[in-house]
Chains A and B, each alone.
Chain A
Protein backbone atom coordinates (compact mmCIF):
# COMPACT_ATOMS: atom_id res chain seq x y z
CA UNK A 1 0.00 0.00 0.00
CA UNK A 2 1.24 3.44 -0.85
CA UNK A 3 0.13 6.99 -0.15
CA UNK A 4 1.48 10.37 -1.13
CA UNK A 5 1.19 11.75 2.37
CA UNK A 6 0.80 9.66 5.51
CA UNK A 7 -0.44 11.55 8.53
CA UNK A 8 0.04 9.88 11.89
CA UNK A 9 -2.56 11.23 14.31
CA UNK A 10 -6.06 12.59 13.80
CA UNK A 11 -5.86 15.40 16.33
CA UNK A 12 -6.08 19.10 15.43
CA UNK A 13 -2.74 19.19 13.56
CA UNK A 14 -3.41 16.03 11.58
CA UNK A 15 -6.97 16.91 10.69
CA UNK A 16 -6.09 20.44 9.64
CA UNK A 17 -3.17 19.25 7.52
CA UNK A 18 -5.31 16.66 5.77
CA UNK A 19 -7.87 19.25 4.79
CA UNK A 20 -5.28 21.65 3.40
CA UNK A 21 -3.84 18.81 1.34
CA UNK A 22 -7.27 17.70 0.17
CA UNK A 23 -8.11 21.25 -0.92
CA UNK A 24 -5.04 21.01 -3.15
CA UNK A 25 -6.13 17.61 -4.53
CA UNK A 26 -3.30 15.83 -2.76
CA UNK A 27 -4.55 12.49 -1.46
CA UNK A 28 -3.48 11.62 2.05
CA UNK A 29 -3.97 8.81 4.55
CA UNK A 30 -4.49 9.37 8.26
CA UNK A 31 -3.62 6.65 10.76
CA UNK A 32 -4.86 6.97 14.34
CA UNK A 33 -4.98 4.51 17.18
CA UNK A 34 -8.21 5.85 18.66
CA UNK A 35 -11.58 4.63 17.37
CA UNK A 36 -12.49 8.09 16.10
CA UNK A 37 -10.92 11.40 15.13
CA UNK A 38 -10.19 14.24 17.53
CA UNK A 39 -6.91 13.35 19.18
CA UNK A 40 -6.94 13.99 22.91
CA UNK A 41 -8.20 17.55 23.00
CA UNK A 42 -11.20 16.89 20.77
CA UNK A 43 -11.65 13.33 21.98
CA UNK A 44 -15.09 11.95 21.10
CA UNK A 45 -16.23 15.39 20.02
CA UNK A 46 -18.71 13.89 17.59
CA UNK A 47 -19.94 11.24 20.01
CA UNK A 48 -20.74 13.09 23.20
CA UNK A 49 -24.35 13.88 24.00
CA UNK A 50 -25.65 17.43 24.19
CA UNK A 51 -25.35 17.47 27.97
CA UNK A 52 -21.61 17.08 27.68
CA UNK A 53 -21.39 20.04 25.33
CA UNK A 54 -22.37 22.44 28.11
CA UNK A 55 -19.91 20.83 30.50
CA UNK A 56 -16.96 20.71 28.12
CA UNK A 57 -17.28 24.19 26.65
CA UNK A 58 -17.33 25.78 23.24
CA UNK A 59 -13.60 25.55 22.47
CA UNK A 60 -14.03 21.79 22.58
CA UNK A 61 -16.99 21.96 20.21
CA UNK A 62 -14.78 23.84 17.74
CA UNK A 63 -13.20 20.49 17.00
CA UNK A 64 -16.35 19.27 15.28
CA UNK A 65 -15.73 21.13 12.09
CA UNK A 66 -12.36 19.47 11.66
CA UNK A 67 -13.81 16.01 12.20
CA UNK A 68 -16.61 16.74 9.75
CA UNK A 69 -14.02 17.97 7.25
CA UNK A 70 -12.45 14.51 7.11
CA UNK A 71 -15.31 13.35 4.89
CA UNK A 72 -13.47 14.18 1.68
CA UNK A 73 -12.64 11.83 -1.19
CA UNK A 74 -8.93 12.69 -0.98
CA UNK A 75 -8.71 11.82 2.72
CA UNK A 76 -8.48 8.17 3.73
CA UNK A 77 -8.73 7.41 7.43
CA UNK A 78 -7.74 4.29 9.34
CA UNK A 79 -8.79 4.25 12.98
CA UNK A 80 -7.88 1.76 15.63
CA UNK A 81 -4.45 1.20 14.13
CA UNK A 82 -1.29 1.22 16.17
CA UNK A 83 1.75 2.47 14.26
CA UNK A 84 4.86 0.96 15.78
CA UNK A 85 7.69 1.43 13.34
CA UNK A 86 8.73 4.04 10.80
CA UNK A 87 11.76 3.12 8.69
CA UNK A 88 14.29 5.50 7.14
CA UNK A 89 12.66 4.99 3.73
CA UNK A 90 9.31 6.14 5.19
CA UNK A 91 7.80 2.66 5.35
CA UNK A 92 5.23 2.65 8.12
CA UNK A 93 4.43 -0.59 9.94
CA UNK A 94 1.26 -0.75 11.97
CA UNK A 95 -1.03 -3.24 13.64
CA UNK A 96 -4.73 -3.46 13.01
CA UNK A 97 -7.25 -5.72 14.67
CA UNK A 98 -9.58 -7.78 12.52
CA UNK A 99 -11.83 -10.77 13.15
CA UNK A 100 -8.83 -13.07 13.50
CA UNK A 101 -6.76 -10.98 15.89
CA UNK A 102 -4.21 -8.27 15.21
CA UNK A 103 -2.14 -8.23 12.05
CA UNK A 104 0.78 -6.13 10.97
CA UNK A 105 0.51 -4.06 7.79
CA UNK A 106 2.88 -1.80 5.94
CA UNK A 107 2.30 1.49 4.15
CA UNK A 108 4.85 3.46 2.18
CA UNK A 109 4.56 7.22 1.85
CA UNK A 110 6.24 9.96 -0.15
CA UNK A 111 5.90 12.28 2.82
CA UNK A 112 5.14 11.56 6.45
CA UNK A 113 3.57 14.09 8.78
CA UNK A 114 3.71 13.19 12.44
CA UNK A 115 0.85 14.76 14.31
CA UNK A 116 1.31 12.59 17.36
CA UNK A 117 0.75 15.29 19.92
CA UNK A 118 1.65 15.50 23.54
CA UNK A 119 1.54 13.45 26.69
CA UNK A 120 1.19 14.66 30.23
CA UNK A 121 4.42 15.49 31.97
CA UNK A 122 5.13 12.62 34.36
CA UNK A 123 4.57 13.97 37.84
CA UNK A 124 6.31 11.64 40.28
CA UNK A 125 5.50 12.02 43.96
CA UNK A 126 5.31 9.81 47.02
CA UNK A 127 2.68 7.12 46.58
CA UNK A 128 1.73 8.01 43.00
CA UNK A 129 1.38 4.38 41.92
CA UNK A 130 -1.49 3.72 44.34
CA UNK A 131 -4.80 2.73 42.75
CA UNK A 132 -6.95 5.85 42.75
CA UNK A 133 -4.20 8.19 41.57
CA UNK A 134 -4.72 9.18 37.94
CA UNK A 135 -3.73 12.04 35.72
CA UNK A 136 -6.11 14.93 35.18
CA UNK A 137 -5.93 14.16 31.48
CA UNK A 138 -7.09 10.63 32.15
CA UNK A 139 -10.10 11.84 34.09
CA UNK A 140 -10.91 14.35 31.37
CA UNK A 141 -10.75 11.62 28.73
CA UNK A 142 -13.24 9.59 30.73
CA UNK A 143 -15.50 12.61 30.91
CA UNK A 144 -15.28 13.33 27.19
CA UNK A 145 -15.44 9.78 25.91
CA UNK A 146 -17.63 8.05 28.46
CA UNK A 147 -19.34 10.81 30.44
CA UNK A 148 -17.79 9.50 33.65
CA UNK A 149 -16.85 11.82 36.54
CA UNK A 150 -15.23 11.22 39.92
CA UNK A 151 -16.98 12.32 43.07
CA UNK A 152 -15.02 14.44 45.53
CA UNK A 153 -11.80 14.22 43.61
CA UNK A 154 -8.70 15.97 44.87
CA UNK A 155 -6.80 17.75 42.10
CA UNK A 156 -3.07 18.36 42.55
CA UNK A 157 -0.38 20.01 40.47
CA UNK A 158 -0.60 23.07 38.30
CA UNK A 159 -1.33 24.34 34.82
CA UNK A 160 -4.30 25.48 32.76
CA UNK A 161 -5.64 21.95 32.31
CA UNK A 162 -6.01 21.63 36.07
CA UNK A 163 -8.21 24.71 36.22
CA UNK A 164 -10.11 23.73 33.08
CA UNK A 165 -10.98 20.32 34.43
CA UNK A 166 -11.92 21.73 37.82
CA UNK A 167 -14.38 24.06 36.12
CA UNK A 168 -15.72 21.21 33.98
CA UNK A 169 -16.30 19.13 37.11
CA UNK A 170 -18.11 22.06 38.70
CA UNK A 171 -20.32 22.47 35.62
CA UNK A 172 -21.06 18.75 35.67
CA UNK A 173 -22.30 19.00 39.23
CA UNK A 174 -19.40 17.15 40.85
CA UNK A 175 -17.06 19.85 42.13
CA UNK A 176 -13.63 18.68 43.25
CA UNK A 177 -13.11 18.32 46.97
CA UNK A 178 -9.94 20.35 46.94
CA UNK A 179 -7.28 21.78 44.65
CA UNK A 180 -3.67 21.43 45.80
CA UNK A 181 -1.59 23.66 43.64
CA UNK A 182 2.17 23.26 43.32
CA UNK A 183 4.07 26.46 42.58
CA UNK A 184 7.54 26.41 41.06
CA UNK A 185 10.12 28.43 42.90
CA UNK A 186 10.00 32.13 41.93
CA UNK A 187 7.05 31.50 39.57
CA UNK A 188 5.86 35.09 39.30
CA UNK A 189 9.35 36.52 39.12
CA UNK A 190 10.16 34.26 36.18
CA UNK A 191 6.83 34.77 34.48
CA UNK A 192 6.38 38.53 34.80
CA UNK A 193 8.82 39.49 32.00
CA UNK A 194 6.72 37.37 29.64
CA UNK A 195 3.43 38.96 30.62
CA UNK A 196 3.49 41.84 28.08
CA UNK A 197 3.77 39.38 25.18
CA UNK A 198 0.98 37.31 26.67
CA UNK A 199 -1.28 40.34 26.93
CA UNK A 200 -0.29 41.35 23.43
CA UNK A 201 -1.23 38.08 21.76
CA UNK A 202 -3.20 35.98 24.20
CA UNK A 203 -5.63 38.18 26.04
CA UNK A 204 -8.47 35.74 25.43
CA UNK A 205 -6.55 32.94 27.16
CA UNK A 206 -5.72 35.10 30.14
CA UNK A 207 -9.34 36.14 30.44
CA UNK A 208 -10.49 32.57 30.22
CA UNK A 209 -8.03 31.61 32.93
CA UNK A 210 -9.20 34.35 35.25
CA UNK A 211 -12.83 33.40 34.65
CA UNK A 212 -12.09 29.77 35.51
CA UNK A 213 -10.33 30.80 38.69
CA UNK A 214 -13.27 32.97 39.65
CA UNK A 215 -15.69 30.14 38.95
CA UNK A 216 -13.65 27.77 41.11
CA UNK A 217 -13.65 30.31 43.89
CA UNK A 218 -17.41 30.90 43.58
CA UNK A 219 -18.03 27.20 43.83
CA UNK A 220 -16.30 27.24 47.18
CA UNK A 221 -13.66 24.70 46.25
CA UNK A 222 -10.84 24.71 48.80
CA UNK A 223 -7.75 25.82 46.94
CA UNK A 224 -4.27 25.67 48.49
CA UNK A 225 -1.49 27.39 46.59
CA UNK A 226 2.14 26.47 46.94
CA UNK A 227 1.86 23.01 48.48
CA UNK A 228 4.82 20.70 49.02
CA UNK A 229 5.43 17.04 49.93
CA UNK A 230 2.35 15.75 48.17
CA UNK A 231 1.88 12.17 49.34
CA UNK A 232 -0.71 9.57 48.40
CA UNK A 233 -1.40 7.23 51.29
CA UNK A 234 -3.20 3.95 51.67
CA UNK A 235 -2.73 0.23 52.10
CA UNK A 236 -2.40 -0.84 48.48
CA UNK A 237 -5.29 1.52 47.64
CA UNK A 238 -5.55 5.31 47.87
CA UNK A 239 -7.24 6.40 51.06
CA UNK A 240 -5.70 9.70 52.05
CA UNK A 241 -3.74 12.58 50.63
CA UNK A 242 -1.16 14.42 52.70
CA UNK A 243 0.53 17.70 51.88
CA UNK A 244 2.30 20.62 53.48
CA UNK A 245 1.09 24.19 53.11
CA UNK A 246 2.72 27.18 54.74
CA UNK A 247 4.63 24.85 57.03
CA UNK A 248 1.56 22.97 58.20
CA UNK A 249 0.96 19.32 57.28
CA UNK A 250 -2.59 18.27 56.49
CA UNK A 251 -4.08 14.88 55.73
CA UNK A 252 -7.45 14.46 54.06
CA UNK A 253 -9.51 11.52 52.96
CA UNK A 254 -9.57 10.88 49.21
CA UNK A 255 -10.11 7.97 46.86
CA UNK A 256 -9.46 9.88 43.65
CA UNK A 257 -6.34 12.00 43.35
CA UNK A 258 -6.00 13.58 39.92
CA UNK A 259 -2.60 15.01 39.13
CA UNK A 260 -1.16 17.24 36.43
CA UNK A 261 1.97 19.32 35.82
CA UNK A 262 1.59 20.37 32.23
CA UNK A 263 2.07 18.55 28.94
CA UNK A 264 5.18 17.71 26.97
CA UNK A 265 5.76 16.57 23.39
CA UNK A 266 5.42 12.84 22.81
CA UNK A 267 8.85 12.05 21.41
CA UNK A 268 8.70 8.26 21.12
CA UNK A 269 8.30 8.26 17.34
CA UNK A 270 10.75 10.98 16.59
CA UNK A 271 13.40 9.43 18.81
CA UNK A 272 12.87 6.00 17.31
CA UNK A 273 13.47 7.58 13.90
CA UNK A 274 16.85 8.87 15.01
CA UNK A 275 15.85 12.53 14.85
CA UNK A 276 17.86 15.02 16.89
CA UNK A 277 16.10 16.51 19.86
CA UNK A 278 16.77 19.79 21.57
CA UNK A 279 15.98 20.85 25.10
CA UNK A 280 13.48 23.69 25.34
CA UNK A 281 14.40 25.48 28.57
CA UNK A 282 11.18 27.52 28.77
CA UNK A 283 8.94 24.49 28.27
CA UNK A 284 11.35 22.24 30.17
CA UNK A 285 10.99 19.41 27.72
CA UNK A 286 12.73 17.91 24.72
CA UNK A 287 11.34 18.51 21.26
CA UNK A 288 12.40 17.23 17.83
CA UNK A 289 14.57 19.45 15.67
CA UNK A 290 12.50 20.89 12.81
CA UNK A 291 12.33 24.10 10.77
CA UNK A 292 9.51 26.64 10.74
CA UNK A 293 7.49 24.37 8.42
CA UNK A 294 7.92 21.44 10.74
CA UNK A 295 10.37 19.83 8.31
CA UNK A 296 12.67 17.35 10.06
CA UNK A 297 14.42 16.38 6.82
CA UNK A 298 14.10 13.31 4.58
CA UNK A 299 10.45 14.13 3.79
CA UNK A 300 9.38 13.85 7.40
CA UNK A 301 7.39 16.58 9.08
CA UNK A 302 6.06 17.23 12.53
CA UNK A 303 3.22 19.56 13.50
CA UNK A 304 1.26 20.29 16.63
CA UNK A 305 2.13 19.68 20.25
CA UNK A 306 4.54 16.94 19.20
CA UNK A 307 6.83 19.66 17.86
CA UNK A 308 6.53 21.87 20.95
CA UNK A 309 3.56 22.69 23.16
CA UNK A 310 1.32 25.32 21.64
CA UNK A 311 -2.25 24.19 22.12
CA UNK A 312 -5.01 23.21 19.72
CA UNK A 313 -5.26 26.36 17.60
CA UNK A 314 -1.50 26.52 17.13
CA UNK A 315 -1.57 22.84 16.18
CA UNK A 316 -4.21 23.45 13.51
CA UNK A 317 -2.17 26.31 12.06
CA UNK A 318 1.07 24.32 12.16
CA UNK A 319 -0.62 21.38 10.46
CA UNK A 320 -1.78 23.63 7.63
CA UNK A 321 1.70 25.15 7.26
CA UNK A 322 3.33 21.73 7.07
CA UNK A 323 0.77 20.73 4.46
CA UNK A 324 1.63 23.78 2.34
CA UNK A 325 5.34 22.98 2.47
CA UNK A 326 4.67 19.35 1.62
CA UNK A 327 2.58 20.52 -1.31
CA UNK A 328 5.49 22.69 -2.41
CA UNK A 329 7.98 19.81 -2.03
CA UNK A 330 5.65 17.64 -4.11
CA UNK A 331 5.65 20.41 -6.74
CA UNK A 332 1.95 21.10 -6.48
CA UNK A 333 2.57 24.67 -5.26
CA UNK A 334 5.25 27.08 -6.34
CA UNK A 335 7.19 28.86 -3.64
CA UNK A 336 5.13 31.97 -4.24
CA UNK A 337 1.82 30.15 -4.05
CA UNK A 338 2.96 28.46 -0.87
CA UNK A 339 3.96 31.78 0.71
CA UNK A 340 0.69 33.45 -0.22
CA UNK A 341 -1.19 30.71 1.58
CA UNK A 342 1.23 30.59 4.47
CA UNK A 343 1.50 34.26 5.29
CA UNK A 344 -1.81 34.72 7.16
CA UNK A 345 -1.32 31.37 8.90
CA UNK A 346 2.16 32.33 10.06
CA UNK A 347 0.88 35.64 11.35
CA UNK A 348 -1.88 33.95 13.26
CA UNK A 349 0.47 31.31 14.62
CA UNK A 350 2.92 33.90 15.91
CA UNK A 351 0.10 35.65 17.73
CA UNK A 352 -1.26 32.36 19.02
CA UNK A 353 2.10 31.45 20.57
CA UNK A 354 2.61 34.78 22.31
CA UNK A 355 0.94 33.59 25.50
CA UNK A 356 3.10 30.47 25.76
CA UNK A 357 6.23 31.63 27.54
CA UNK A 358 4.15 33.35 30.20
CA UNK A 359 2.07 30.22 30.84
CA UNK A 360 5.11 27.94 30.66
CA UNK A 361 7.03 29.90 33.27
CA UNK A 362 4.11 30.67 35.57
CA UNK A 363 3.05 27.05 35.53
CA UNK A 364 6.46 25.47 35.35
CA UNK A 365 6.71 22.06 36.99
CA UNK A 366 7.97 21.84 40.53
CA UNK A 367 10.61 19.12 40.81
CA UNK A 368 11.82 20.05 44.29
CA UNK A 369 10.07 17.19 46.06
CA UNK A 370 11.31 14.39 43.81
CA UNK A 371 14.80 15.89 43.99
CA UNK A 372 14.83 15.94 47.77
CA UNK A 373 13.11 12.64 48.53
CA UNK A 374 15.08 9.51 47.61
CA UNK A 375 12.11 7.21 48.06
CA UNK A 376 9.90 8.47 45.26
CA UNK A 377 9.35 5.94 42.50
CA UNK A 378 10.59 7.42 39.27
CA UNK A 379 10.11 4.35 37.06
CA UNK A 380 6.66 2.89 37.69
CA UNK A 381 7.09 -0.13 35.44
CA UNK A 382 10.30 -1.41 37.04
CA UNK A 383 9.89 0.30 40.45
CA UNK A 384 13.10 2.31 40.41
CA UNK A 385 13.34 5.10 42.98
CA UNK A 386 15.11 8.44 42.76
CA UNK A 387 17.55 7.18 45.40
CA UNK A 388 18.45 4.15 43.29
CA UNK A 389 19.10 6.39 40.29
CA UNK A 390 21.35 8.62 42.36
CA UNK A 391 23.31 5.59 43.58
CA UNK A 392 23.93 4.42 40.05
CA UNK A 393 24.92 7.92 39.01
CA UNK A 394 27.50 7.96 41.77
CA UNK A 395 28.81 4.61 40.55
CA UNK A 396 29.29 5.96 37.05
CA UNK A 397 25.95 6.04 35.22
CA UNK A 398 26.13 9.44 33.62
CA UNK A 399 23.23 9.23 31.23
CA UNK A 400 19.92 7.48 30.88
CA UNK A 401 21.28 4.59 28.80
CA UNK A 402 23.69 3.45 31.46
CA UNK A 403 21.10 4.16 34.14
CA UNK A 404 18.69 1.98 32.23
CA UNK A 405 21.21 -0.85 31.93
CA UNK A 406 21.90 -0.82 35.64
CA UNK A 407 18.55 -0.03 37.19
CA UNK A 408 16.10 -1.17 34.53
CA UNK A 409 14.59 2.32 34.60
CA UNK A 410 13.04 2.69 31.16
CA UNK A 411 12.99 -1.04 30.35
CA UNK A 412 9.34 -1.55 31.10
CA UNK A 413 6.45 -1.51 28.66
CA UNK A 414 6.05 2.27 28.71
CA UNK A 415 9.56 2.63 27.21
CA UNK A 416 10.45 5.61 29.35
CA UNK A 417 7.34 7.70 28.65
CA UNK A 418 6.53 7.91 32.37
CA UNK A 419 10.06 8.09 33.73
CA UNK A 420 12.50 9.49 31.20
CA UNK A 421 12.08 13.16 31.94
CA UNK A 422 12.05 12.73 35.71
CA UNK A 423 15.05 10.41 35.59
CA UNK A 424 16.94 12.98 33.53
CA UNK A 425 16.16 15.64 36.14
CA UNK A 426 17.39 13.41 38.96
CA UNK A 427 20.60 12.53 37.13
CA UNK A 428 21.23 16.16 36.27
CA UNK A 429 20.75 17.16 39.87
CA UNK A 430 23.05 14.41 41.12
CA UNK A 431 25.73 15.32 38.61
CA UNK A 432 25.30 19.07 39.06
CA UNK A 433 24.71 19.76 35.36
CA UNK A 434 21.86 21.16 33.31
CA UNK A 435 19.31 18.57 32.29
CA UNK A 436 20.04 19.36 28.62
CA UNK A 437 23.43 17.66 29.12
CA UNK A 438 21.92 14.33 30.09
CA UNK A 439 21.90 11.82 27.25
CA UNK A 440 18.37 10.53 26.84
CA UNK A 441 17.72 6.80 26.55
CA UNK A 442 17.85 5.24 23.11
CA UNK A 443 14.29 4.72 21.91
CA UNK A 444 13.78 2.09 19.24
CA UNK A 445 10.86 0.64 17.36
CA UNK A 446 8.53 -1.05 18.16
CA UNK A 447 7.20 1.96 19.94
CA UNK A 448 4.13 -0.01 20.91
CA UNK A 449 4.25 -3.71 21.81
CA UNK A 450 3.64 -6.16 18.98
CA UNK A 451 2.93 -9.88 19.27
CA UNK A 452 5.58 -12.27 18.03
CA UNK A 453 3.00 -13.86 15.74
CA UNK A 454 2.34 -10.54 14.02
CA UNK A 455 6.05 -10.11 13.53
CA UNK A 456 6.49 -13.69 12.37
CA UNK A 457 3.78 -13.15 9.76
CA UNK A 458 5.90 -10.43 8.19
CA UNK A 459 8.76 -12.87 7.59
Chain B
Protein backbone atom coordinates (compact mmCIF):
# COMPACT_ATOMS: atom_id res chain seq x y z
CA UNK B 1 0.00 0.00 0.00
CA UNK B 2 1.16 3.52 -0.74
CA UNK B 3 2.61 5.38 2.20
CA UNK B 4 0.20 8.27 1.75
CA UNK B 5 -2.92 6.12 1.74
CA UNK B 6 -2.88 4.45 5.11
CA UNK B 7 -5.33 4.52 7.94
CA UNK B 8 -4.09 6.66 10.82
CA UNK B 9 -5.04 6.87 14.46
CA UNK B 10 -5.51 10.49 15.55
CA UNK B 11 -3.09 11.31 18.33
CA UNK B 12 -4.40 13.18 21.35
CA UNK B 13 -3.22 16.77 21.76
CA UNK B 14 -1.95 16.11 25.26
CA UNK B 15 0.17 13.12 26.20
CA UNK B 16 -2.28 10.43 27.29
CA UNK B 17 -1.33 6.93 28.40
CA UNK B 18 -4.61 5.48 27.15
CA UNK B 19 -3.30 5.69 23.60
CA UNK B 20 -0.39 3.32 24.25
CA UNK B 21 -1.04 0.08 22.38
CA UNK B 22 -2.26 -2.17 25.11
CA UNK B 23 -3.23 -5.36 23.32
CA UNK B 24 -1.69 -7.80 20.88
CA UNK B 25 -3.76 -9.82 18.45
CA UNK B 26 -2.43 -12.58 16.21
CA UNK B 27 -3.37 -12.64 12.53
CA UNK B 28 -1.67 -15.79 11.27
CA UNK B 29 2.03 -15.09 11.88
CA UNK B 30 1.54 -11.38 12.19
CA UNK B 31 1.26 -9.52 15.49
CA UNK B 32 -1.32 -6.76 15.40
CA UNK B 33 -1.38 -4.11 18.08
CA UNK B 34 -4.68 -2.79 19.30
CA UNK B 35 -6.18 -0.52 21.92
CA UNK B 36 -8.99 -1.33 24.33
CA UNK B 37 -11.49 0.69 22.29
CA UNK B 38 -10.68 -1.19 19.08
CA UNK B 39 -12.88 -3.78 17.53
CA UNK B 40 -11.04 -6.66 15.90
CA UNK B 41 -12.00 -5.15 12.53
CA UNK B 42 -10.65 -1.68 13.27
CA UNK B 43 -7.38 -3.18 14.54
CA UNK B 44 -6.93 -5.30 11.40
CA UNK B 45 -7.76 -2.39 9.11
CA UNK B 46 -5.42 -0.04 10.91
CA UNK B 47 -2.66 -2.62 10.56
CA UNK B 48 -3.09 -2.43 6.79
CA UNK B 49 -4.51 -5.92 6.27
CA UNK B 50 -6.21 -5.90 2.87
CA UNK B 51 -8.10 -9.21 2.96
CA UNK B 52 -9.84 -10.71 5.98
CA UNK B 53 -11.94 -13.25 4.14
CA UNK B 54 -12.52 -14.74 0.69
CA UNK B 55 -15.80 -14.56 -1.20
CA UNK B 56 -17.53 -17.92 -1.02
CA UNK B 57 -18.26 -18.14 -4.74
CA UNK B 58 -15.22 -16.73 -6.55
CA UNK B 59 -12.73 -16.54 -3.71
CA UNK B 60 -12.18 -12.80 -4.20
CA UNK B 61 -10.71 -10.91 -1.27
CA UNK B 62 -13.02 -9.07 1.11
CA UNK B 63 -12.61 -6.56 3.91
CA UNK B 64 -15.13 -5.13 6.39
CA UNK B 65 -17.52 -2.78 4.62
CA UNK B 66 -20.15 -1.29 6.93
CA UNK B 67 -18.55 -1.57 10.42
CA UNK B 68 -21.97 -1.77 12.05
CA UNK B 69 -22.99 -5.41 11.77
CA UNK B 70 -25.11 -5.20 8.61
CA UNK B 71 -22.95 -6.44 5.78
CA UNK B 72 -21.27 -9.55 7.30
CA UNK B 73 -18.18 -8.98 5.15
CA UNK B 74 -16.10 -8.84 8.31
CA UNK B 75 -16.64 -12.49 9.33
CA UNK B 76 -13.44 -13.99 10.67
CA UNK B 77 -12.54 -16.90 12.88
CA UNK B 78 -11.50 -15.98 16.43
CA UNK B 79 -10.28 -18.85 18.59
CA UNK B 80 -12.31 -21.31 16.56
CA UNK B 81 -15.56 -19.34 16.40
CA UNK B 82 -16.74 -17.43 13.33
CA UNK B 83 -17.91 -13.94 14.35
CA UNK B 84 -18.38 -10.46 12.92
CA UNK B 85 -15.08 -8.76 13.68
CA UNK B 86 -16.66 -5.30 13.62
CA UNK B 87 -18.91 -6.30 16.52
CA UNK B 88 -16.16 -7.96 18.56
CA UNK B 89 -14.07 -5.89 20.99
CA UNK B 90 -10.35 -6.60 20.64
CA UNK B 91 -8.94 -8.67 23.50
CA UNK B 92 -5.31 -9.41 24.23
CA UNK B 93 -4.03 -12.67 22.78
CA UNK B 94 -6.85 -13.36 20.34
CA UNK B 95 -5.90 -15.71 17.50
CA UNK B 96 -7.49 -14.60 14.24
CA UNK B 97 -7.81 -16.22 10.84
CA UNK B 98 -10.03 -16.23 7.78
CA UNK B 99 -13.18 -18.33 8.13
CA UNK B 100 -12.59 -21.83 6.77
CA UNK B 101 -14.72 -22.74 3.77
CA UNK B 102 -15.48 -25.83 1.72
Chain A residues near B (Cβ < 8 Å) = 33, 35, 40, 44, 47, 49-52, 55, 82, 101, 119-120, 129-135, 137-139, 141-143, 145-152, 172, 174, 236-237, 253-256, 266, 380-383, 412-414, 417-418, 448, 451
Contact = CB atoms under 8 A, between A and B. Distances in A.
15 contacts: A33-B87, A44-B37, A50-B12, A55-B10, A120-B66, A129-B60, A134-B64, A139-B67, A141-B67, A149-B7, A172-B10, A237-B61, A255-B2, A380-B71, A412-B56
B39 to A, nearest CB: 7
B5 interface: yes
B55 A135 contact: no
Interface in B63-87: 63-73, 75, 81, 87
B10 A382 contact: no
A380 B57 contact: no
Closest 7 CB pairs of A and B: A138-B67, A255-B5, A413-B72, A131-B63, A383-B57, A147-B10, A414-B72
A419 to B, nearest CB: 10
| Residue of B16, B42, B45 with most partner-chain A CB within 10 A | B45
Given A145-B37, A255-B1, A51 B10 contact: yes
B72 A129 contact: no
B65 A138 contact: yes
A134 B7 CA distance: 13
Contacts of A418: 65-66, 70-71
Nearest to A235: B61
B51 A148 contact: no
A174 B2 contact: no
Interface of B: 1-2, 4-10, 12-13, 16, 18, 35, 37-39, 42, 45-46, 50-51, 55-58, 60-73, 75, 81, 87, 89
B65 A134 contact: yes
Contacts of A143: 10
Contacts of A172: 10
A380 B60 CA distance: 11
DSSP majority for the B interface?
loop
Contact of B75 (A254, A413, A448): A413
Given A137-B68, A413-B72, A131 B2 contact: no
Contacts, number: 136
Contacts of A417: 70-71
A255 B48 CA distance: 11
A266 B70 CA distance: 9
A148 B9 contact: yes
Contacts of A412: 56, 72
Contacts of B18: 49
A150 B68 contact: no
Contact of B10 (A148, A254, A255, A266): A148
A74 to B, nearest CB: 28
Given A35-B89, A414-B72, A51 B12 contact: yes
Contacts of B6: 150-151
Contacts of A137: 66-68
Contact of A148 (B7, B69, B70, B71): B7
Contacts of B89: 35
A49 B12 contact: yes
Given A131-B50, A253-B2, A383-B57, A33 B10 contact: no
Contacts of B62: 129, 131
Given A47-B37, A131-B50, A132-B50, A142 B42 contact: yes
Given A138-B64, A254-B5, A380-B73, A146 B51 contact: no
Contacts of A237: 50-51, 61
Contacts of A35: 89
Given A49-B16, A255-B5, A381-B72, A131 B61 contact: yes
Contacts of A52: 10
